Amino acid sequence: MTEGERSARLVREIFLAGFMSGLPAENVLWATHRLGRNMADVHLRAGDVLYRQSDPTAAHYFVVYGEMKLTAEGVPPWTLGERSLIGTIDLTLERARSRTATATRATHLLEMPAGDWLDMLEDNFELMLRGVEGIAAGVHELRKGLGRTTSAESPGARPFERRLPDGPLGLVDRVMLLRGVPLFSGGEVQALLDLAAHAVEIEVDAGGVITPRGEPNDAMFVTISGTVTASTSTTVPAETVGPGRMVFGSCAATSKEIGCEAHATTRSRLLRLVREDYFDAMEEHFGLARSSMKALAAEREILANEVARRAGPTGS
Amino acid sequence: MARWITRFFDLRGGEARPVIQSFLVLFLLIGAHTTLETARDALFLTKLAPKELNLVYIALAGLSFVAAALSTRLALRFGRRNALIGTLGIAAVATALLYGMTPTPRVVMTLYVFSGLVGAVLSPQFWLLAAQMFTSSQGRRLFGPIASGGVAGGVAGATTAAVLVAHHPVTSLLLVAAFAFIATALLLTTLALPVDDDDLSTRFDLDDKAPAQAPSLALSQQPFVWRVALLVALSTAAVLTVDYLFKSTAALKIPPAQLGEFFARYYAVMNGVSLVVQLLVAGRVVRRLGVAGATGVMPTLLLVGGAASFVTGGALLPVLGMRLVDGGLRHSLNRVATELLYLPMPTKVRERAKGLIDTVLSRSVQAVTAAVLFGLGTMGVLSPRMLAGIVLVLCVSWTAVAAGLRRPYLDLFRRALSGGTLQLGAENTEIDVNAAEALVEAMANPEPTVVIAALDVLEQRDREKLIPALILYHDAEPVLFRALEIFGASPRQDWIPLGERLLSHESEGMRIAAVRALAKHGVALALARATKDASTTVQAYAAFHLALRSEDQELSEHPSLAPMLEERGESGEAKRRVLLTAIADAADPRATSLVLAIARGKGFARSEQNITLLARAMKALHDPRYIPFCVELLATRPAREAIRQALVAMGDAALDALEAATIAPDTERRVRTHIPRTIADFRTQRACDFLMARLDGETDGLVRYKVLRGLGHIVAAADVKVDRKKVEKEARRNLVEHLRVTALRVAMEAGSTANAGSEPALPTEHLLLGLLADKQAQSLERAFRLLKIANRREDIHRVHTAARSNDRRARSNAGEFLDTLLAGAGRRELRELFRLVVDDLDPAARVRRAAPHLGPVPHDRKGALAALMEDRDPGLAKLSRPGLDAPMEVVTS
């Protein structure tokens, strides 16, 4: 390693350690060392294009300084500055570039190859978990800002069409129900079987509280029948969740207390999953973790577009 | 017949057409060139004296540089296939023009040089095209049959020439050659190229796209290219000397009248042997010995012949044997093995290297060898023994170079699989002047997270002394917290006066941090100030230190501490947290039961923060009484890492307990699953041995997987020895399991409603197929993890990723890497199994080939379902049996 490479690597590690501040120290140490080794510096001038729409997604980028504008026809532009990640949604959703990324001024980025990023997440579950929880909390904040409780347009949130028995569900029905939930839809069958086996089916009378506001939030609920009224904040209108839907949507992935409240609007049946079981299943099955990341990334993209649309033509 | 050929040559889906086309192209190309050479030789010997050959050789050597460079440029500009078509077009036009000219000595000289250049350029161009069309794995199987096209073309060209010259002037051969060149070019236009390989210029762009990541493309920086060049140079010199020895021995031992018949028969035998080796032996030898091993076969055999010849002073039999080896293997096995060496090179490197090695280097070596032999002959010292001695020396060197190829060949795949980066050995991450400048700049950054990151980086590299004490004047509290933490743990004293300032900081947390850091350095003032602090929490910290000065043997009963254990509410919890912090900072055995009392107290919430502090205190005291408590806490995610560190600090007693808990039937599963990773954190040989023993002793699949992960961690982190044979046996078991599940899936899918294209009618069946796919991926992943344990320095994870990739070249590189890595008689079965699972095969073909490893497998859905119901995997068995739709329990609220 030459002197120049050593200092460049050190600068990368400092940037990454700062970027990951808030994570446990031992994870930051491990991740910065690993990421710093495989990253490459990219310097752009104003007007330079980093990648174009429909290019294959081989990497994502950390913005060290400068500003990037991400544009595509029919959607509002995103303007991202220092300490942002560029291209991560495409990478997470395993698709070609959905926008063209152009530097609006002199910009320094760190390029992280897609494979290395996914390898790192697979190798360090704590980091993966913090990532899932962090994005879920971020989505929750975006929703609050937009005055929403759940995101009906999430691409994974297909309408639930399967006919479920009127009586208690069997294991297969439980798994099929879970497969319709965006957070779980791409998970391994084994992971869903584990989750379904550990889940408990509950019946709640109309008006019965499912998640009291301000109390520890240690479970996730999927509606089997009936309707549930969910609200994520006292300032946001409550929404009604029907069969096949996760109460609070993908935000239910976070264990952080986010001030949610849910109660049955009509007599309802729900599948209750202990969040620790979900985390355990993710630890054992990377596919489930990837599925959760995808669901959250998809929703984040929708919300970010809405935020940008509301911010007007200058972007956010 | 077609089926037999497909099976005999191991042709797979979509390969038959490009192989047949390649065979025909080589057949025509070599046939045309042989015809051209026959005309050239006949015209030369009739028009010019043999001594003129020297001039031709010099001209050829010089022009071959130009031809090689032009050939590479042509390929860069127009793509490899178009370059070959263009070269053939030029060859056809030039040959036709030469046919139309009167064969004057100058024209004949031109013809000789031209045909030499055509020969030097066309063959490498063809093999470069083949390298582009086929992956390394395909090359192993297919280059032998393709190369036999060259042997057959040579025979056909010579026969055609012999028949033609009996009835037509010799110049007519030029016309035939020109037509053959055109026919080859036309055939090439129909050649099926894989989509990703059609445009060479694009591939070059891709190679060049990320210079930071891409391997160096300069030939001087390619050690493997140097070795291949040396191999080719030594082999060229050796076979030329063998040929010389053969001819001179034959001239000595065989009556002149019988020489013609002798050569004719002998060459016929050699061609026959060559063809047989090409078709039947080359592929099998390459598969058995690997590419690097196969390059050593010919020099080893020649070495034996050379030694026998040297000992006997050039007896006929060993010389005949050597020539037979040369004739039989040079254009078959050796050719195939050498061509395969080029395949894993980056495209640009391969293009440049092959042109130079095959065209320029081999011609130059031929010329130098011939000159040396000529010189020695002129001096009268070239006896048969002397020639045999030269062969012996050359073959020893050649064998040595071939034997040393395995490691750089593996490096080439490592490089290819890592996308150009090669991380071997320890990295030097020392801080130099530039790096120090970067750190100073980061510490002056207005963003606190950047400053903390810089502090962390310095601490990680044990360079805390580079952190200026003035950092304690920083505005941001998080920076002050981190700096105090680092200073408190370091032996430095220069920061203490600045640290004392913080004892009067407005933030309670900051005052505690300052007291902690100063108390660790024995600053009495800090504790004195803390006892008088307005905050009872700060006082609690000082109270512990004051209690330490008492004579009490049991601090849990100390009058100033005991009330804190009972105090309720947030204030009580905050004090207990501070107490745990103080205990961790100043561990004293008298505090052992104080920690237990806090942990068992009713008011102790098992939050992440509380358990972390508790674990740190336990780690500091490392009393064995904490062990059961810590083992139990492994079941809860928060602060599991801190609990693990505490257990490790408790040493062998904790390891005893963890081992016992692993085996005990009443241990909660949630605890058992986290024990292997905890044991791995001990990083000792004993811990490693225990995990190794559990590898085949553990019956719970999930716990066994955790054992495997634990072994992976310990092997990566510590210098421990593993029983490689046992690990590889387990890898074999997982690979067989992967193939077994593949067989079940193939049988299930054969009659599944899921194959109908619509939504499956049976959800259970849909789930069962999904579960089988999961099990396939799982067993393969485990096999690769085990391989990593047995080969800790290799980046097996990347090989696994490449093996699952959609890129056929990446998959082929993975297969080739594994094949080379697992070379050796003792690992044959493992090598074969990995080859089976990584090779490009459709699932049904994979199952058929795996039959010797699997025993009887079901062939239809009914049989598969019957087998699955009795499967040893409980998940598969459960999902295969009816009754899964039975309602489960419901809780009513």
Contacts of B202 (CB under 8 A, 6+ apart): none
Q: How far apart are CA B54 and CA A310, in angstroms?
A: 83
Cross-chain residue pair B890–A269, CB shorter than 8 Å: yes
Do B414 and B817 form a contact (C-beta atoms < 8 A)? yes
Least confident of B263-272, B532-541, B720-729, B741-750: B263-272
Query: What pLDDT sits at residue A26?
Result: 66
B887 vs A11, A168, A280: nearest CB? A168
Retrieve residue B489's tokens: 């743990």
A39 in the Ramachandran plot: left (φ > 0), alpha (ψ -120 to 50) or beta?
Answer: beta
Using CA coordinates, name the residue in chain A closest to B437: A7
CB of A11 less than 8 A from some CB of B:
yes
Region of residue B485 (phi > 0: left; psi between -120 and 50: alpha; otherwise: beta): alpha
pLDDT of residue A114: 83
Complete DSSP assignment for B65-92? HHHHHHHHHHHHHH-HHHHHHHHHHHHH
Among chain A residues, the shortest Cα distance to B880 is held by A172
Closest residue in chain B to residue A203, using alpha carbons only: B892
A274 touching chain B per CB within 8 A: no
B892 interaction partners in chain A (CB closer than 8 Å)? 202-203
Tens-digit pLDDT profile for residues B344-394: 887 778 888 887 888 788 888 888 888 888 888 888 888 889 989 999 999
How far B836 CA sits from the closest chain A CA (Å)?
24
Confirm or reject contact between A141 and chain B (CB < 8 A). Answer: no
The full DSSP string for B598-624 is HHHSTT----HHHHHHHHHHHHHH--G
**Average pLDDT score, chain A:** 84
pLDDT classification of B751: cutoffs 50, 70, 90: low
Measured distance CA(A202)–CA(A268) in Å, rounded: 8
Residue B421 banded pLDDT, cuts 50, 70, 90: very low
Residue B137 confidence (pLDDT): 83
Considering only CB atoms, which chain B residues are within 8 Å of A284?
A: 702, 705
**Choice between B284 and B19, residue whose per-residue pLDDT is larger:** B19
Among candidates A248, A275, A228, A232, which has minimal Cα distance to A152? A248
CB contacts < 8 A (A, B): 152
**Which of B54-58, B76-80, B708-712 has maximum average pLDDT?**
B708-712
Query: In terms of DSSP bridges, do strands A75-80 and A107-113 run parallel, antiparallel, or are they unpaired?
Result: unpaired
> A129: distance to nearest CA of chain B, Å?
11
Task: Give me the residue label for tokens 């040929």.
Answer: B243
Say what percent of chain B tops pLDDT 90. 32
Alpha-carbon distance A212 to nearest alpha carbon in chain B (angstroms): 14
Residue B638 clears pLDDT 80, i.e. is over it: no
Choose among A21, A126, A168: nearest Cβ to B453. Answer: A21
For residue B297, give the nearest of B230, B212, B235 by alpha carbon.
B235
What gap in Å lies between CA B108 and CA B328, rounded to an integer? 32
Whether A284 and chain B come into contact, CB under 8 Å, resolves to: yes
Nearest by CB to B884, which of A123, A170, A204?
A170
Please tell me the distance in Å from B774's CA to the nearest CA on chain A.
6
What angle do helix axes B80-100 and B105-133 make, rounded to 10 degrees? Answer: 160
B798 to chain A, closest Cα gap in Å: 9
Q: Which residues contact B819 (CB under 8 A, 6 or more apart)?
A: B290, B831, B834, B835
Interchain pair B433, A3: CB under 8 A: yes
Of the candidates B767, B769, B718, the residue with the CA atom closest to the CA atom of residue B744: B769
- Residue the block writes with tokens 């501040």: A21
* CB-neighbour burial class of residue B362 (10 A; exposed 0-12, middle 13-18, buried 19+): buried
The CA distance from B410 to the nearest CA of chain A, in Å, is 21
Query: A97 to chain B, minimum CA–CA distance in Å?
Result: 17
pTM, two decimal places: 0.80
Residues B274/B328, Cβ–Cβ less than 8 Å: yes
Provide the token pair at A237. Answer: 């209108």
What's the pLDDT score for residue B77? 82
pLDDT tens profile B648-687: 999 999 999 999 999 999 999 889 999 999 999 999 999 9
For residues B761 and B778, give the distance between their C-alpha atoms in angstroms, rounded to a whole number.
27
pLDDT value at position B423?
A: 43
Residues 74-133 of A with CB under 8 A from B: 111, 113, 115, 119, 123, 126
Does residue B893 surpass a pLDDT of 60? no
Q: List CB contacts of B862: < 8 A, sequence separation 6 or more.
A: B751
**Which residues of chain B have a CB within 8 Å of the CB of A165?**
887
pLDDT digits (tens, 9 = 90+) for B64-99: 888 888 888 888 788 888 999 999 999 999 999 999
Question: Which of A15, A167, A280 comes nearest B887 by C-beta?
Answer: A167
The ipTM value here is 0.81
Query: Tens digit of pLDDT for each residue in B460-481?
Result: 778 888 889 999 999 899 999 9
Question: Which of B450, B637, B887 has the CB atom closest to A18's CB atom?
Answer: B450
